[in-house]
Amino acid sequence: MNKEMLTMRMKGYALTTYGRELKELNNKERYTVFSKALMEDILPKWKASEEKFEGKKKAYYLSAEFLMGRALSNNLINLGYMSEVKEMLSSMGMDYNALEEAESDAGLGNGGLGRLAACFLDSGATMNYSLTGYGIRYNYGIFEQKFVEGYQVEEGDKWLEHGDSWSIRRQDEKVVVDFKDQSVYAVPYDTPVVGFSGETINTLRLWQSEAITEFNFTAFNNQMYDKAVKEKNDAENISKVLYPNDSMESGKILRLKQQYFFVSASLQDLIRTYKKDHKDFTEFSRLHAVQLNDTHPAVAIPELIRLLGKEGVSFKNAFDIAVDTFAYTNHTILKEALEQWSVKLYKKILPEVYAIIVKIDNMLSRQLADKGLTEKEISEFEIISEGNIKMAWLSIYGTHSVNGVAQLHTNILKDTELSGWYNLFPERFNNKTNGITQRRWLLESNPELSAFITELLGHDGWITELSELSKLKKFAEDDTIIERFMRIKKAKKLELKEYIKEREGIEIDENSIYDIQIKRLHEYKRQLLNAFHILYLYNRLKTDKNFDMEPRTFIFGAKAAPGYARAKAIIKFINEIAEVVNNDADINGKIKVVFVENYGVSYAQKLFPAADISEQISTAGKEASGTGNMKFMLNGAPTIGTFDGANVEIVEEAGLENNYIFGLTVEEIEELKAVYDPKAELEKNPVLKSIVNTLIDGTLDLAPEENFKELHDSLIKGASWHDPDNYFIIRDFDAYVEAQERVNEDYKNQLEFYRKGFLNMASAGKFSSDRTIVEYANEIWNIPSITEEDEESLAV
């Protein structure tokens, strides 16, 4: 890094952007000029990296969500500039942390699915693959969450308010996307994805929707002002805002337009580039691997066939190219989250695409009939059924690979949810257990633990080869090592305490157990079970003088989809519990409850390193993988959780004895389902009954709300599409309390407790997204990893 050059550029941007001297700028402005100056450094390397992959097979990740968070620290770390930059800025009288905090999160995703896409991009570049992300440049990302009297209130996320220095508008590469009733430009904004060591720099290309004709002069002249800008507004609406739904189907016209918009633009982009060097499409699938992140981009299958048809390729050939090009990742087992679109809507918005889906469906039926399936059997596989298009069915039939995201999840897909399809195409099904990037979730978030790991190993190879961590297991016997690990954890807990004091205005006890549940709010994730346990402890402290417990701080972070009333009621309920518990002098501060506002990637980076215990308590069989569980583990926190998703593999790696596993298994739930009677169970469990009753009886002065009544009904009577206690909170409660008691007991011997945490960290190697991405590259995409060295040796 050239400091003089960087300073000179910053001064230049200060003048040309703000018309002021560098030293006169506020933190936001300083951040902006600094990131612009850094972009000048990145650009030539970015171009060189692109050249390295010319003519090679490349992978593309189509995703409606990229939950990137901040870029500055990540870029500095991956470029190897961090320590120099900190020095340089401080010599100029600037505080790096203030600059860092000035960056808005790029929150273009809801939760795990979008964050996975972001981790994959980081790993793809670090492992030296050409992996391009394609998505939507939402003007507003995931909403900003506020609490007003304990209720969630949503506000627009103005992440672009101060500009975005990391992206470059590529006006020259815009394409037209046609709907039946509208045509728009898709304008690409490219952001560099810097791999660790800066050797490979890939691209995240996000499309922004704009009008073909911005302004209708004649209408304006005739004083029809709304009409004059109508086309502009209609076009811009398409990429205006991220749908804040997480695993909930949403059947909105705008959502369909969003999906088709970015998919069509991305495929047009690929075809245009390909045509520069090719006369026909026989080489297309040999050069492109396109991964569909869930079914949101599934319209890519008929759209590629449609676009190839316009280039003169027959339907049959185009279908084969699509199957060879595309692969599909399934992210959910929840039935209500399996995407379907009404035929009516498709016909109205995308008639040409719909006609191709019909052809695909007919071909499938013929193929199945040839295999000797009966008409009734064939109907099970129909893509178009009862007026709806089943996007998962389309995604299985139109691709060569279908993967689940953890072993348990993949098994459930094969054995139950998709067993029919599995029997039809067994070779297509495979597992790719999710991962997280250790660059962001350890190196950047927890520099103290990172330095300690490097010291113990004698090298920092874990940064790109996380399995190195297993060599730390031998240190677990050494109490002085565990004591140092403990001191780091305490330091991170103190940092979080200060951050929470500043952000939430709540004082927490740094010597208490930090018990953290941070993830989207959903019934299946069972934040309510956690809340009931808090009430259980509170009641015992209030009523039983002999009851003692280690002090605990329960920390929650979660956004609820704005239309998901029951999830919002759970937020309100937990905030009410916090209000009561935090202000009750009787319990001597033994329990504190904090629901942090506006949980997102940057907040997450402060929470994971400070956790003593990781809450992963979903109903078994419902959480496809989870990745939050991996972030806790990597930062040395044991899991209290069910045998669900990747928890199973976490325990496999770190040992049952170092985690707190409880509750029904998938098999037990399958058996119990038909006979489960939560009301009867509650009658036998007066302790739990009184806790559940706090939802409706006013004992806790929770201001009996209509919403709480509905929540109560959902447990006892079943409400809307639900069976009573659909997520087995009542049945799992006692087992959860018992597991929490084990945590409490174990924490009395802190050395032993933190030894478990240390061993979790040392066992986290498998959960690097580097490992996941190498599996995708080798087993699905068939793409090469190319370093500069490879290039040079080829040139010789």
Ligand X SMILES: *Cc1c(COP(=O)(O)O)cnc(C)c1O
Q: Which of 296, 286, 227, 224 is nearest to 255 (CA)?
A: 296
Q: By C-beta, is 81 or 662 nearer to ligand X?
A: 662
With CB atoms as reference, the residue minimizing the distance to ligand X is 628
CB of 202 to ligand X, least distance (A): 21
For the question of residue 717 being annotated catalytic, the response is no
Contact 184, 113 (CB under 8 A): no
Indicate the SS3 state at residue 753.
helix
For the question of residue 218 being annotated catalytic, the response is no
CB of 601 to ligand X, least distance (A): 5
Considering 70, 492, 525, 712, which one is annotated as catalytic?
525
* C-alpha triplet 646, 647, 653: angle, nearest 5°: 90
Convert 731-749 to b/e letters by CB count within 10 Å (16 or more is b): bbbbebbebbeebeebbee
CB of 113 to ligand X, least distance (A): 8
For the question of residue 525 being annotated catalytic, the response is yes
Q: By C-beta, is 381 or 767 nearer to ligand X?
A: 767
Q: By C-beta, is 435 or 626 nearer to ligand X?
A: 626
Considering 331, 533, 552, 592, which one is annotated as catalytic?
331
Contact 92, 4 (CB under 8 A): no
For the question of residue 631 being annotated catalytic, the response is yes
DSSP string, 522-559: -GGGTHHHHHHHHHHHHHHHHH-TT-----EEEEEE--
Q: By C-beta, is 165 or 332 nearer to ligand X?
A: 332
Q: Bridge partners of 60?
A: 132, 290
Q: By C-beta, is 489 or 520 nearer to ligand X?
A: 520
CB of 604 to ligand X, least distance (A): 4
CB of 519 to ligand X, least distance (A): 3
Contact 403, 411 (CB under 8 A): no
* Residue 687 token pair: 């302790």
CB of 151 to ligand X, least distance (A): 21
C-alpha Rg value of the chain to the nearest Å: 27
Considering 132, 627, 642, 772, which one is annotated as catalytic?
627
Q: Which of 729, 550, 518, 556 is nearest to 642 (CA)?
A: 729
Q: Which of 605, 627, 445, 613 is nearest to 520 (CA)?
A: 627
d(CA 107, CA 602): 10
Q: By C-beta, is 141 or 297 nearer to ligand X?
A: 141
Contact 695, 705 (CB under 8 A): no
Residue ranges that bind ligand X, judged by CB under 6 A: 111-112, 115, 519-520, 600-601, 604, 626-628, 631
For the question of residue 520 being annotated catalytic, the response is yes
Contact 740, 640 (CB under 8 A): yes
Q: By C-beta, is 634 or 682 nearer to ligand X?
A: 634
**C-beta atoms surrounding 607 within 10 Å:** 24
Convert 579-605 to b/e letters by CB count within 10 Å (16 or more is b): bebbeeeebeebbbbbbbebbbbbbbb
CB of 642 to ligand X, least distance (A): 13
Active-site residues, by number, are 331, 519-520, 525, 627, 631
